[in-house]
Chain A
Amino acid sequence: MGSIVSRLLSRLLREEEIEDIEEIKKETGFSHRKITRLYRRFTSLDKGGNGTLSRDDFHRIPELAINPLGDIITNGFFPEGEDQVNFRGFVRTLAHFRPIDQDNEKNKNPSATEPLNSRTNKLLFAFRLYDLDRDGKISRDELLQVLRMIVGVNLICSTKTPKGGI
């Protein structure tokens, strides 16, 4: 990060601290202000200060501990096999949750890559949440597994008995 002066300057401008901010903007569609705010959040979560988040950093968020899907969501941030997520990955995952751009939907250009917050990509993200072992398919057990996670203790789920209606 260079010298103290540039640090101070960048603290004012908050731009040099975020590398490739233009690329992130194009990829995710977030505005400049939002990216800055997310970067602040990222750094406040990143206790180790090394520019990446580990699973522990997510575990430190207290509200996630009382969210039944907290751990699954946390996993959604980490790409296959890795346990550190950098800022780009962080923002990329969060970009899935942006509201759908209405004009993009109308634009049926099949060759252009869809933005991260398109319907398809949102569905893909949700699919990955269900698909715990990342094999590209949701098995019955995975579905039951998620069901169990968001249902109270008193409910019996048995793999033997098919539940009617699902």
Chain B
Amino acid sequence: MSSPTSTPSRKRGRASNPSTPGSEGPLSPPSQRARSQDASQGELPPMPTSPATDICSPNPQDTSLFSSPRRSVLPSEVDASSPLLYGTPSSRVEGTPRSGIRGTPARQRPDLGSVRKAPQVDLHSEPPAGENAVASDQAAGQRLVIWGTDVNVGTCKEKFQRFLQRFIDTTSKEDENCGLDLNEPLYMQKLDEISVVGEPVLNVNCGHVQSFDADMYRQLICYPQEVIPTFDMAVNELFFERYPDSILGHQIQVRPYNALKTRNMRSLNPEDIDQLITISGMVIRNSQLIPEMQEAFFRCQVCAFSARVEVDRGRIAEPAVCRNCNTTHSLALMHNRSLFSDKQMIKLQESPEDMPAGQTPHTTVVYAHNDLVDKVQPGDRINITGIYRAAPMRVNPRQSQVKAVYKTHIDVIHFRKTDERRLHGLDDENEQKLFTEERVQTLRELAGKPDVYERLSSALAPSIYEHEDIKKGILLQLFGGTRKDFSQTGRGNFRAEVNILLCGDPGTSKSQLLQYVFNLVPRGQYTSGKGSSAVGLTAYVMKDPETRQLVLQTGALVLSDNGICCIDEFDKMSDSTRSVLHEVMEQQTLSIAKAGIICQLNARTSVLAAANPVESQWNPKKTTIENIQLPHTLLSRFDLIFLMLDPQDEAYDRRLAHHLVALYYKGEEQIEEEYLDMAVLKDYIAYARTYIVPRLCEEASQALIEAYVDMRKIGSGRGMVSAYPRQLESLIRLAEAHAKVRFSEKVETIDVEEAKRLHREALKQSATDPRTGLVDITILTTGMSATARKRKEEIAQALKKMIQAKGKTPAMKYQQLFDDLRAQSEAAITKDLFDEALRALADEDYLTVTGKTVRLL
């Protein structure tokens, strides 16, 4: 009954083969079959076979398999099919030209069918029936299906080939498809790639399959164990038809991914067992590589006769009697001639975003096989596609009692790192949060409202009273600008993140605002300037206790890449710590050179910092710089600097009191009604950040130019510069962020208007010269207002005049000079001012100051 058509590439093992240990299971790797066939069958003429139709149904009459002509053609090659070849490579015939489907060894796929016993073995408990069914498949006219499923191998194969040949996805955005012509059949191009690169793996997006043929998709999800081998067959047939001369390591394996069945580890349930699932999570632990025995090699101690035994469900049936010399118990296991395959256990933990509040994350065991071993590291965020399995646990091998519990795991077929792109710099898409249609609808509806900007900003930290502009600023920060890449022209990336500094009196709920933001954004970090060191912010190198290797541990700034880093008590940070922020806040990277590790990490983080004034209370007579004592180099990197001051006016007090009292007595529901839900806000931001990429329109550009020129003009009247290109960049970012708030793909004039307004408000607060009451950007860029500089100049000149008026006195008393100047000048002259004037004159080489005396030169 073993027609050749039914046999060939069936080396995909079947987990659920109930065949008795005596008969050789269908798991037998090709090498074994080849050999035993060599021994038993001798040379059979190669037959032109149409490759297998049946690959799945278990076949107890295994011996008949060995008549498969295809094995006999190139017996030596099949050795290579074992992934971990501990056998004898010398047996390989060198130089045999190898091509075509029959020449390429197939490779076991322990990920599909493993030696473990699946619980639903009953599906295949009557394998002969299955065999018959499929064997007579062609004769019966494509009506029969694999036992226990509704999969018809022939149809399925045909469908899949059609899919490969015809599927076109013009909207593909996946990065691995870059370089492919989107208007040509996608997978044919991939096959082409395989023939060039020689990596015999074809990744198939289940989403594509679904859109092409929903029925095939359903079959794939429900019976992956049967369907994937069919796919393999189909693709190999197709491939070797097109590229008959290509040489591959083994036959092409199809790896489906992105099965939409399950997204969340928490939603796995018993119905998913033995189905194809995709879940996301984070790797928390990798086991060591486990060589799993596939085939045991026994040799008789007496006559050196060798025997091979398949591992069946984790056990080896040791032959008691040597078949050659009939000695009992003479066979010994030869480890180095047995066949092993690689296997690794990976522990996957639910990603923190998927977890409901107040619960602990779940973990799942995942097994990786062969080349998927060591593909992921602990800490990686991955999507895995695989088959969910469950097996009963035995309490004690000698007892019949069984713990009434199944152990579950996933045999992985495909890994996909979700955070991989962050390294490549193509980003934001990794936050592929899936939005349901309705959600998108509600969000779009919300975006359509004319007052969406106000609504969102008032939804931000509703427990904090007023500070409308600050909330608006933070809102724009949450959305961020559009990322622009000028690396071709050598400028590198333009910063898209908005940085904000809040300074002000203690007790104005700055920390609360920071806490709120930190809780709102998915990738936020919260640190306190007091408690963090430079390494805590950047990265440090430590020795991994387990592997004894040096590993780079990243700090808050790197961790909040694409998020917001909230730094409280910014002023209390040590200077060295603060200095690392310079690079991060403009270049958005972090360079590290320590312990032999030199690298540049992405730190595209927005900084939201809060600082207290030095004198604990804000001194309105001083400039921002003087109040918070931060280097102006750093200050100029903040797009918006807000002052949170206690306004001290009655109407405000009244509103504040009302707000606070309401906070304490209003019911939960009342509050909810008034404000947007935090979850909506979160989604809104996530959606806008992912999907909205606003560009400047012509009018907006003009408006920006005008705004910038205006800003420059303000100062030029008084002979000073009041705006720098950095301010223009800030304006652009803010305008883009505002467009994002509106879900608009174009930056329009209203966006520019708002950006201008906000920028002006912030400047008004932070860059107002307390002496003149005018906005003066130089306070932030040089740390000193233009008037202050002018004043310094004047005093120096007055002093010079005074000294000159005194006539020829080579040396003067410091104190006397000070008193004289004070007496002469109308304005009050502080000692600081006097010192500065002296210094200025000393710089002119007019005089020197030594101790308490001033000498003329």
Real binding pair: no
Binding site for B on A (CB under 8 A): none
Chain B residues with CB under 8 Å of chain A are: none
